[in-house]
Amino acid sequence: MFLEDLKLINFRSFPELRIKSFNKINCLIGENGAGKTNFMEGVYLLSSNRGFRTGDRKELTYRNAEGFFIQGSFDGDMIARTITEKKKQLTLNEEAIPANKLRVYNPIVAFSPNDIFLATGSSDTRRRFFDAAIALRDHEYSDYLATYERALRQRNASLKKDPKHANLWNEALITSGAKIIEKRLAFVKLLIPKVQTLYAELAKGSANLKYFNNFKLTQNIEEGLKKALKDSSSDDLRRKHTTKGPHRDDITILINDLPAAKSGSQGQNRTLSFALKIGSVEIIEETLGRKPILLVDDALLEVDPSKRKRIFDKINSLGVQLFLTATTKEFFSFIDKQEEVNYIDFDL
Protein backbone atom coordinates (compact mmCIF):
# COMPACT_ATOMS: atom_id res chain seq x y z
CA MET A 1 0.00 0.00 0.00
CA PHE A 2 1.08 3.57 -0.53
CA LEU A 3 -0.01 6.53 1.59
CA GLU A 4 -0.79 9.47 -0.69
CA ASP A 5 -2.54 11.97 1.54
CA LEU A 6 -2.93 12.28 5.31
CA LYS A 7 -5.10 14.44 7.51
CA LEU A 8 -4.94 14.51 11.31
CA ILE A 9 -7.41 16.55 13.34
CA ASN A 10 -7.08 16.99 17.09
CA PHE A 11 -4.71 14.06 17.17
CA ARG A 12 -1.88 14.08 19.78
CA SER A 13 0.11 17.32 19.35
CA PHE A 14 -1.65 18.26 16.08
CA PRO A 15 -4.80 20.41 16.12
CA GLU A 16 -4.67 20.02 12.35
CA LEU A 17 -2.07 18.52 10.04
CA ARG A 18 -2.48 17.87 6.34
CA ILE A 19 0.19 16.40 4.08
CA LYS A 20 -0.84 15.90 0.50
CA SER A 21 2.16 14.23 -1.00
CA PHE A 22 4.47 11.42 0.00
CA ASN A 23 7.25 9.46 -1.64
CA LYS A 24 8.32 5.89 -1.36
CA ILE A 25 10.92 7.03 1.18
CA ASN A 26 9.76 9.60 3.72
CA CYS A 27 12.13 11.00 6.33
CA LEU A 28 10.67 12.80 9.33
CA ILE A 29 13.08 15.26 10.87
CA GLY A 30 12.66 17.02 14.19
CA GLU A 31 13.98 17.55 17.68
CA ASN A 32 12.81 15.28 20.46
CA GLY A 33 9.20 16.06 21.18
CA ALA A 34 8.61 17.58 17.72
CA GLY A 35 5.82 15.12 16.93
CA LYS A 36 7.48 12.48 14.72
CA THR A 37 6.21 9.54 16.71
CA ASN A 38 2.80 11.21 16.99
CA PHE A 39 2.68 11.36 13.20
CA MET A 40 3.70 7.68 12.89
CA GLU A 41 1.07 6.73 15.44
CA GLY A 42 -1.59 8.54 13.42
CA VAL A 43 -0.63 6.64 10.27
CA TYR A 44 -0.54 3.38 12.23
CA LEU A 45 -4.10 3.92 13.46
CA LEU A 46 -5.27 3.64 9.85
CA SER A 47 -4.30 -0.02 10.06
CA SER A 48 -4.52 -1.05 13.67
CA ASN A 49 -6.94 -0.29 16.50
CA ARG A 50 -4.29 0.56 19.02
CA GLY A 51 -1.66 3.21 18.61
CA PHE A 52 1.74 1.62 19.10
CA ARG A 53 2.06 3.37 22.45
CA THR A 54 -1.52 3.35 23.70
CA GLY A 55 -5.12 2.75 22.77
CA ASP A 56 -6.34 5.37 25.24
CA ARG A 57 -8.62 7.94 23.60
CA LYS A 58 -7.75 10.77 25.96
CA GLU A 59 -4.01 10.33 25.47
CA LEU A 60 -4.44 10.28 21.70
CA THR A 61 -6.68 13.34 21.61
CA TYR A 62 -5.17 16.81 21.31
CA ARG A 63 -5.31 18.56 24.71
CA ASN A 64 -8.92 18.77 25.80
CA ALA A 65 -10.57 18.32 22.41
CA GLU A 66 -13.62 16.07 22.23
CA GLY A 67 -11.94 13.43 20.14
CA PHE A 68 -9.82 12.97 17.04
CA PHE A 69 -10.14 12.28 13.34
CA ILE A 70 -7.59 10.63 11.06
CA GLN A 71 -7.97 10.19 7.34
CA GLY A 72 -5.59 8.76 4.78
CA SER A 73 -5.69 7.92 1.08
CA PHE A 74 -3.95 4.67 0.25
CA ASP A 75 -3.76 3.61 -3.40
CA GLY A 76 -6.84 5.72 -4.10
CA ASP A 77 -8.85 4.28 -1.19
CA MET A 78 -9.91 6.49 1.67
CA ILE A 79 -9.56 5.15 5.20
CA ALA A 80 -10.86 7.21 8.12
CA ARG A 81 -11.10 6.80 11.87
CA THR A 82 -13.17 9.01 14.15
CA ILE A 83 -12.96 8.58 17.90
CA THR A 84 -14.88 10.71 20.36
CA GLU A 85 -16.48 9.88 23.66
CA LYS A 86 -19.76 9.10 21.92
CA LYS A 87 -18.64 7.93 18.51
CA LYS A 88 -16.21 5.32 17.23
CA GLN A 89 -16.11 5.01 13.51
CA LEU A 90 -13.83 3.22 11.11
CA THR A 91 -14.49 3.47 7.39
CA LEU A 92 -13.09 2.40 4.05
CA ASN A 93 -14.40 4.60 1.23
CA GLU A 94 -17.08 5.88 3.62
CA GLU A 95 -18.42 2.45 4.49
CA ALA A 96 -17.91 0.87 7.91
CA ILE A 97 -15.17 -1.75 8.04
CA PRO A 98 -14.44 -4.06 11.00
CA ALA A 99 -11.03 -3.59 12.64
CA ASN A 100 -9.76 -7.08 11.80
CA LYS A 101 -10.59 -6.60 8.09
CA LEU A 102 -8.90 -3.21 7.98
CA ARG A 103 -5.70 -4.66 9.39
CA VAL A 104 -5.29 -7.11 6.51
CA TYR A 105 -6.57 -4.58 3.98
CA ASN A 106 -3.98 -2.00 4.94
CA PRO A 107 -1.18 -3.78 6.82
CA ILE A 108 1.27 -1.44 8.55
CA VAL A 109 4.30 -2.67 10.46
CA ALA A 110 6.12 -0.48 12.99
CA PHE A 111 9.80 -0.90 13.88
CA SER A 112 11.03 0.65 17.11
CA PRO A 113 14.11 0.55 19.33
CA ASN A 114 12.09 -1.68 21.69
CA ASP A 115 12.23 -4.43 19.09
CA ILE A 116 15.46 -5.59 20.73
CA PHE A 117 13.19 -7.10 23.41
CA LEU A 118 11.98 -9.59 20.82
CA ALA A 119 15.25 -11.37 21.40
CA THR A 120 15.99 -10.45 25.01
CA GLY A 121 12.57 -9.91 26.60
CA SER A 122 9.94 -12.15 28.10
CA SER A 123 7.98 -14.75 26.17
CA ASP A 124 5.04 -12.37 26.43
CA THR A 125 6.86 -9.84 24.21
CA ARG A 126 7.49 -12.49 21.58
CA ARG A 127 3.93 -13.78 21.67
CA ARG A 128 2.71 -10.22 21.14
CA PHE A 129 4.99 -9.81 18.12
CA PHE A 130 3.79 -13.09 16.59
CA ASP A 131 0.16 -12.31 17.36
CA ALA A 132 0.41 -8.86 15.75
CA ALA A 133 2.19 -10.18 12.66
CA ILE A 134 -0.27 -13.05 12.15
CA ALA A 135 -3.26 -10.72 12.58
CA LEU A 136 -1.93 -8.69 9.63
CA ARG A 137 -2.13 -11.68 7.27
CA ASP A 138 -5.15 -13.50 8.64
CA HIS A 139 -8.29 -11.61 9.62
CA GLU A 140 -9.65 -14.58 11.60
CA TYR A 141 -6.69 -14.66 13.94
CA SER A 142 -7.64 -11.70 16.12
CA ASP A 143 -11.14 -13.16 16.60
CA TYR A 144 -9.71 -16.46 17.81
CA LEU A 145 -7.34 -14.56 20.06
CA ALA A 146 -10.17 -12.46 21.53
CA THR A 147 -12.32 -15.56 22.11
CA TYR A 148 -9.42 -17.38 23.73
CA GLU A 149 -8.49 -14.48 25.99
CA ARG A 150 -12.08 -14.02 27.12
CA ALA A 151 -12.49 -17.75 27.91
CA LEU A 152 -9.15 -17.75 29.70
CA ARG A 153 -10.11 -14.78 31.88
CA GLN A 154 -13.42 -16.39 32.74
CA ARG A 155 -11.86 -19.76 33.48
CA ASN A 156 -9.21 -18.17 35.70
CA ALA A 157 -11.87 -16.15 37.53
CA SER A 158 -13.84 -19.37 38.07
CA LEU A 159 -10.75 -21.17 39.37
CA LYS A 160 -10.49 -18.46 42.01
CA LYS A 161 -14.12 -18.03 42.99
CA ASP A 162 -16.24 -20.84 41.65
CA PRO A 163 -13.97 -23.80 40.82
CA LYS A 164 -16.68 -26.32 40.01
CA HIS A 165 -17.71 -24.26 36.99
CA ALA A 166 -14.21 -23.65 35.67
CA ASN A 167 -14.46 -26.37 33.02
CA LEU A 168 -17.46 -24.67 31.45
CA TRP A 169 -14.98 -22.55 29.54
CA ASN A 170 -12.91 -25.46 28.25
CA GLU A 171 -14.72 -25.86 24.97
CA ALA A 172 -14.23 -22.23 23.92
CA LEU A 173 -10.65 -22.42 25.13
CA ILE A 174 -9.94 -25.60 23.17
CA THR A 175 -11.44 -24.59 19.81
CA SER A 176 -9.92 -21.11 19.74
CA GLY A 177 -6.65 -22.23 21.40
CA ALA A 178 -6.07 -24.98 18.82
CA LYS A 179 -6.60 -22.49 15.97
CA ILE A 180 -4.14 -20.07 17.55
CA ILE A 181 -1.47 -22.75 17.85
CA GLU A 182 -2.11 -24.01 14.31
CA LYS A 183 -1.75 -20.50 12.89
CA ARG A 184 1.35 -19.73 14.96
CA LEU A 185 3.03 -22.95 13.85
CA ALA A 186 2.26 -22.19 10.21
CA PHE A 187 3.69 -18.68 10.60
CA VAL A 188 6.84 -19.87 12.38
CA LYS A 189 7.40 -22.46 9.65
CA LEU A 190 7.39 -19.68 7.06
CA LEU A 191 9.46 -17.35 9.22
CA ILE A 192 12.33 -19.73 10.05
CA PRO A 193 13.95 -19.90 6.58
CA LYS A 194 13.47 -16.14 6.15
CA VAL A 195 15.12 -15.26 9.44
CA GLN A 196 17.99 -17.64 8.69
CA THR A 197 18.63 -16.01 5.31
CA LEU A 198 18.15 -12.44 6.54
CA TYR A 199 20.36 -12.88 9.56
CA ALA A 200 23.14 -14.39 7.46
CA GLU A 201 22.87 -11.44 5.04
CA LEU A 202 23.01 -8.85 7.81
CA ALA A 203 25.54 -10.40 10.17
CA LYS A 204 27.97 -13.22 10.62
CA GLY A 205 26.62 -16.41 12.12
CA SER A 206 23.33 -18.21 12.12
CA ALA A 207 19.94 -17.58 13.65
CA ASN A 208 17.06 -19.92 14.28
CA LEU A 209 13.63 -20.09 15.96
CA LYS A 210 11.89 -22.79 17.91
CA TYR A 211 8.26 -22.83 18.92
CA PHE A 212 7.70 -24.41 22.30
CA ASN A 213 4.23 -25.32 23.31
CA ASN A 214 3.67 -26.50 26.83
CA PHE A 215 1.81 -29.74 26.20
CA LYS A 216 2.21 -32.68 23.88
CA LEU A 217 1.16 -31.73 20.38
CA THR A 218 -0.56 -34.45 18.42
CA GLN A 219 -1.88 -34.49 14.88
CA ASN A 220 -5.16 -33.19 16.26
CA ILE A 221 -4.28 -30.06 18.25
CA GLU A 222 -7.75 -29.81 19.84
CA GLU A 223 -7.43 -33.33 21.26
CA GLY A 224 -3.98 -32.52 22.63
CA LEU A 225 -5.17 -29.33 24.29
CA LYS A 226 -8.25 -31.08 25.69
CA LYS A 227 -6.07 -33.75 27.25
CA ALA A 228 -3.64 -31.15 28.61
CA LEU A 229 -6.49 -29.26 30.30
CA LYS A 230 -7.81 -32.49 31.77
CA ASP A 231 -4.41 -33.67 33.00
CA SER A 232 -3.63 -30.31 34.58
CA SER A 233 -7.04 -29.76 36.19
CA SER A 234 -5.90 -30.47 39.76
CA ASP A 235 -2.79 -28.36 39.20
CA ASP A 236 -4.97 -25.52 37.86
CA LEU A 237 -7.27 -25.76 40.89
CA ARG A 238 -4.37 -25.54 43.26
CA ARG A 239 -2.68 -22.64 41.45
CA LYS A 240 -5.98 -20.93 40.66
CA HIS A 241 -5.10 -20.28 37.05
CA THR A 242 -4.88 -22.14 33.73
CA THR A 243 -1.40 -23.59 33.35
CA LYS A 244 -1.61 -25.13 29.86
CA GLY A 245 -2.39 -23.54 26.53
CA PRO A 246 -1.07 -21.12 23.91
CA HIS A 247 -1.00 -18.23 26.41
CA ARG A 248 2.03 -19.98 27.90
CA ASP A 249 3.82 -20.88 24.67
CA ASP A 250 7.20 -19.45 23.84
CA ILE A 251 9.29 -18.98 20.78
CA THR A 252 12.96 -19.35 21.50
CA ILE A 253 15.36 -17.43 19.33
CA LEU A 254 18.81 -18.85 18.83
CA ILE A 255 22.02 -17.26 17.59
CA ASN A 256 24.71 -19.77 16.67
CA ASP A 257 22.54 -22.39 18.41
CA LEU A 258 22.49 -20.53 21.75
CA PRO A 259 19.47 -18.70 23.17
CA ALA A 260 19.73 -15.07 22.06
CA ALA A 261 18.21 -13.84 25.31
CA LYS A 262 21.13 -15.21 27.33
CA SER A 263 24.14 -15.06 25.09
CA GLY A 264 23.40 -12.69 22.20
CA SER A 265 25.33 -9.42 22.10
CA GLN A 266 23.41 -6.11 21.79
CA GLY A 267 24.39 -5.88 18.15
CA GLN A 268 23.41 -9.46 17.37
CA ASN A 269 20.09 -9.08 19.12
CA ARG A 270 19.33 -5.86 17.26
CA THR A 271 20.17 -7.45 13.93
CA LEU A 272 17.98 -10.38 14.88
CA SER A 273 15.05 -8.13 15.68
CA PHE A 274 15.37 -6.60 12.20
CA ALA A 275 15.51 -10.09 10.66
CA LEU A 276 12.32 -11.06 12.52
CA LYS A 277 10.46 -7.92 11.48
CA ILE A 278 11.65 -7.94 7.87
CA GLY A 279 10.86 -11.66 7.61
CA SER A 280 7.34 -11.06 8.88
CA VAL A 281 6.87 -8.22 6.38
CA GLU A 282 7.85 -10.61 3.57
CA ILE A 283 5.34 -13.21 4.79
CA ILE A 284 2.55 -10.64 5.06
CA GLU A 285 3.23 -9.51 1.51
CA GLU A 286 3.39 -13.07 0.17
CA THR A 287 0.11 -13.92 1.90
CA LEU A 288 -1.87 -10.84 0.93
CA GLY A 289 -0.27 -9.91 -2.36
CA ARG A 290 0.02 -6.37 -1.01
CA LYS A 291 3.03 -4.59 0.41
CA PRO A 292 2.73 -3.40 4.01
CA ILE A 293 3.81 0.15 4.87
CA LEU A 294 6.78 0.30 7.24
CA LEU A 295 7.18 2.83 10.04
CA VAL A 296 10.78 2.83 11.24
CA ASP A 297 10.57 5.00 14.34
CA ASP A 298 14.09 5.67 15.69
CA ALA A 299 14.89 1.99 15.14
CA LEU A 300 18.02 2.66 13.06
CA LEU A 301 19.30 5.14 15.62
CA GLU A 302 20.54 2.41 17.93
CA VAL A 303 22.19 0.46 15.16
CA ASP A 304 25.94 0.61 14.74
CA PRO A 305 26.46 3.33 12.05
CA SER A 306 28.47 0.93 9.89
CA LYS A 307 25.47 -1.39 9.80
CA ARG A 308 22.77 1.17 9.16
CA LYS A 309 23.24 1.20 5.41
CA ARG A 310 23.11 -2.56 5.12
CA ILE A 311 19.90 -2.78 7.14
CA PHE A 312 18.33 0.19 5.39
CA ASP A 313 19.19 -1.22 1.94
CA LYS A 314 17.57 -4.51 2.91
CA ILE A 315 14.40 -2.80 4.12
CA ASN A 316 14.35 -0.54 1.08
CA SER A 317 14.77 -3.50 -1.27
CA LEU A 318 11.39 -4.80 -0.07
CA GLY A 319 9.91 -2.12 -2.32
CA VAL A 320 7.59 -0.93 0.44
CA GLN A 321 6.73 2.63 1.37
CA LEU A 322 8.92 3.74 4.26
CA PHE A 323 8.69 6.32 7.01
CA LEU A 324 11.86 6.96 9.01
CA THR A 325 12.72 9.39 11.81
CA ALA A 326 15.80 11.30 12.96
CA THR A 327 16.67 14.60 14.62
CA THR A 328 18.78 15.81 11.67
CA LYS A 329 18.79 15.41 7.90
CA GLU A 330 22.46 14.35 8.05
CA PHE A 331 21.48 11.17 9.85
CA PHE A 332 20.00 9.88 6.61
CA SER A 333 23.36 9.82 4.81
CA PHE A 334 22.99 6.04 4.43
CA ILE A 335 20.31 6.60 1.78
CA ASP A 336 21.69 6.48 -1.77
CA LYS A 337 21.84 9.86 -3.50
CA GLN A 338 19.74 8.74 -6.45
CA GLU A 339 16.76 7.85 -4.24
CA GLU A 340 13.96 10.38 -4.27
CA VAL A 341 13.37 11.25 -0.65
CA ASN A 342 10.52 13.24 0.84
CA TYR A 343 11.83 15.14 3.88
CA ILE A 344 9.17 16.25 6.33
CA ASP A 345 10.42 18.82 8.79
CA PHE A 346 8.65 18.81 12.15
CA ASP A 347 10.71 21.66 13.60
CA LEU A 348 9.06 24.31 11.42
Ligand X SMILES: Nc1ncnc2c1ncn2[C@@H]1O[C@H](COP(=O)(O)OP(=O)(O)O)[C@@H](O)[C@H]1O
Q: With binding defined as CB under 6 A, does residue 55 bind ligand X?
A: no
Give me the sign of the Cα torsion angle 332, 338, 339, 341: positive
**Is residue 158 near Mg ion by the rule CB under 5 A?**
no
Q: Which of 329, 294, 215, 207 is nearest to 258 (CA)?
A: 207
User: Which of 30, 224, 245, 264: binder of ligand X (CB under 6 A)?
Assistant: 30
Residue 36 touches ligand X, criterion: CB under 6 A: yes
61 binds Mg ion (CB under 5 A): no
Q: Does 37 bind ligand X (CB under 6 A)?
A: yes
Q: Name the one range near ligand X by CB under 6 A: 57-65, 86-94, 124-132, 157-165.
A: 57-65
99, 106, 134 from 129: Cα distances, Å: 18, 18, 9
Query: What dihedral do alpha carbons 188, 190, 191, 192 form, nearest 10°?
Result: 80
Smallest distance, ligand X to C-beta of residue 301, A: 11
Distances 281 to 95, 138, 235, 290 between C-alpha atoms, Å: 28, 13, 40, 10
| Nearest residue (beta carbon) to ligand X | 37
CB of 269 to ligand X, least distance (A): 23
CB of 183: closest distance to ligand X in angstroms? 33
Q: Which is nearer to ligand X, 46 or 180 (CB)?
A: 46
Q: Sheet harboring 108-111: ordered strands across?
A: 108-111, 293-296, 322-326, 25-29, 341-345
CA distance 277 to 294: 10
35 binds ligand X (CB under 6 A): yes
Q: What gap in Å lies between CA 172 and CA 100, rounded to an integer? A: 20
Least separation in angstroms between residue 16's CB and ligand X is 13
The answer to the question of residue 37 lying near Mg ion (CB under 5 A) is yes
Which residues bind to ligand X, rule: CB under 6 A? 12-13, 30, 32-38, 59, 61-63, 346
